[in-house]
């Protein structure tokens, strides 16, 4: 009933599933409890191509199609939400702007390193204390001095900042404002003046570091500009479209894991002398979960397919993220309900899955923003009805 995958995609799905089942899922509970990033598994991902999903082979990446990239992120979500988010942010946010808009020099310098597993990851800094959904409100500024950019400002909720080789930073390069006032600049994390705060204390996804970042007279070469000056907003919106597919894919993976745990538990747990799986109340929750997961997976894969075909996919990506993330939270919540009191215990994985799923309706564009994107496409005549 799922999206019709070709033979190569099915083989890829199995290869990734087998890898994450062996290297990532067994560490998921420990990753959540300790908050430590699973570097041992991530170091092995370079050889499989998981750190270069969107990176062309000439720069050391896997260069897989967009559906295969979504499959990989879904499988990571099934295994561990924390690791999945970090790898999704690395691929979708930390490398995509460089792949799409970066100079040949920047690509050659950074992409092989972050795709290999030998270096650290990529990161993207957008959100500020006073600018989240409203990117036009960004205050971090970059000014030209000789052959350098001088950057001052502050970012927050920056995924991977503390485990990154560089942070692609959205900055204001034109104080006059307007849609062409922002630009993207690559800032290596060892640059003087760049300060990365401690990991945020979060409800879930504790093994995926999220940090505040401050820039105090941070100087980088003018050549670290990604794309053309003033095109940062457009580049960011395009990057986020792809990132939304990834967040939808993580949600599908989390929900799939929750359903599998719920089905197994419903068969084992007895009440009133019979397995609770024999009760309609339980069966209906399982049936709804399976139906919604299938629908969400198809929405995610369809948006990825449109991206791969070079077709407009902004509306489809928003739909996929909206439905998949809200579905994921619902399925994980019901999995806890099926487990009863045990589901509320940290000894059982559905508790962690629910906490991890909760972010997905917020990050990379809230559900409310997705509804705005979809509605505006419909009302403008650009979208499909």
- Side-chain half-sphere of 360: how many Cα atoms within 13 Å? 38
Strand locations in the chain, DSSP E?
121-125, 141-145, 148-159, 164-172, 182-188, 194-196, 210-221, 225-226, 270-271, 274-275
Please give the average per-residue pLDDT across 214-224, as a whole number: 98
Token pair belonging to 231 = 């095109």
Q: What is the pLDDT of residue 385?
A: 58
| 3-state SS class at 218 | strand
User: 130-133 long-range CB contacts below 8 Å, 24 or more apart?
Assistant: 132/157, 133/365, 133/366, 133/369
With tokens 């919604």, the residue in question is: 292
Please give the average per-residue pLDDT across 213-220, as a whole number: 98
Catalytic residue among 128, 165, 316, 364: 364
Q: Tell me which H or E stretch contains 198.
A: none
Q: What is the pLDDT of residue 192?
A: 98
Question: What's the pTM value of the predicted model, to 2 decimals?
Answer: 0.95
- Report the candidate in 159, 157, 13 with the shortest Cα–Cα distance to residue 78: 13
Q: What is the pLDDT of residue 2?
A: 57
Residue 230: pLDDT band by 50, 70, 90 thresholds?
A: very high
Residue 172: pLDDT band by 50, 70, 90 thresholds?
A: very high
Catalytic (active site) residue 364 = yes
Mean of pLDDT over the chain: 96
The span from the CA of 300 to the CA of 139, in Å, is: 33
Q: Are 241 and 313 within 8 A, CB to CB?
A: yes
């Amino acid at each position: 009933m799922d999206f019709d995958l070709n033979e190569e995609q099915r083989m890829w799905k199995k290869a990734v599933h087998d890898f994450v089942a062996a290297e990532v899922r067994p560490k998921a509970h420990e990753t959540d409890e300790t908050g430590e990033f699973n570097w041992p598994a991530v170091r092995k991902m370079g050889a499989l191509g998981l750190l270069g999903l969107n990176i062309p082979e000439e720069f050391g990446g896997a260069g897989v199609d967009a559906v295969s990239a979504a499959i990989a992120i879904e499988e990571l979500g099934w295994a561990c939400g924390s690791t999945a988010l970090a790898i999704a942010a690395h691929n979708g946010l930390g490398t995509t702007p460089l792949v799409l808009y970066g100079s040949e020099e920047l690509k050659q310098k950074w992409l092989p390193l972050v795709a290999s597993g030998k270096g650290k990851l990529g990161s993207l800094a957008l959100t500020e204390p006073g600018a989240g959904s409203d990117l036009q409100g960004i205050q971090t500024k970059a000014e030209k001095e000789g052959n350098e950019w001088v950057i001052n400002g502050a970012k927050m909720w920056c995924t991977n900042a503390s485990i990154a080789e560089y942070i692609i930073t959205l900055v204001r390069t034109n104080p006059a404002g307007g849609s062409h006032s922002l630009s993207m600049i690559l800032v290596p994390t060892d640059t003087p003046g760049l300060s990365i705060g401690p990991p945020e204390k979060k409800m879930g996804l504790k093994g995926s570091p999220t940090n505040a970042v401050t820039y105090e007279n941070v100087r980088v070469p003018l050549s670290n500009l990604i794309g053309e000056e003033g095109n940062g907003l457009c580049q960011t919106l395009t990057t986020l479209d792809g990132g939304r597919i990834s967040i939808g894919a993580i949600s599908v993976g989390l929900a799939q894991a929750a359903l599998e745990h719920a089905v197994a538990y419903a068969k084992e747990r007895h009440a009133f002398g019979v397995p609770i799986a024999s009760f309609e109340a339980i069966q209906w929750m399982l049936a709804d979960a399976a139906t919604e997961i299938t629908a969400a997976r198809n929405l995610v894969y369809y948006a990825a397919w449109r991206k791969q075909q070079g077709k407009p996919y902004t509306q489809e990506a928003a739909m996929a993220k909206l439905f998949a993330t809200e579905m994921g939270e619902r399925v994980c919540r019901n999995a806890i309900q099926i487990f009863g009191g045990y589901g509320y215990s940290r000894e059982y994985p559905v508790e962690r899955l629910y906490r991890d799923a909760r972010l997905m309706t917020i990050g990379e564009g809230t559900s409310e923003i997705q509804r705005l994107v979809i509605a505006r496409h419909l009302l403008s005549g650009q979208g499909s009805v």
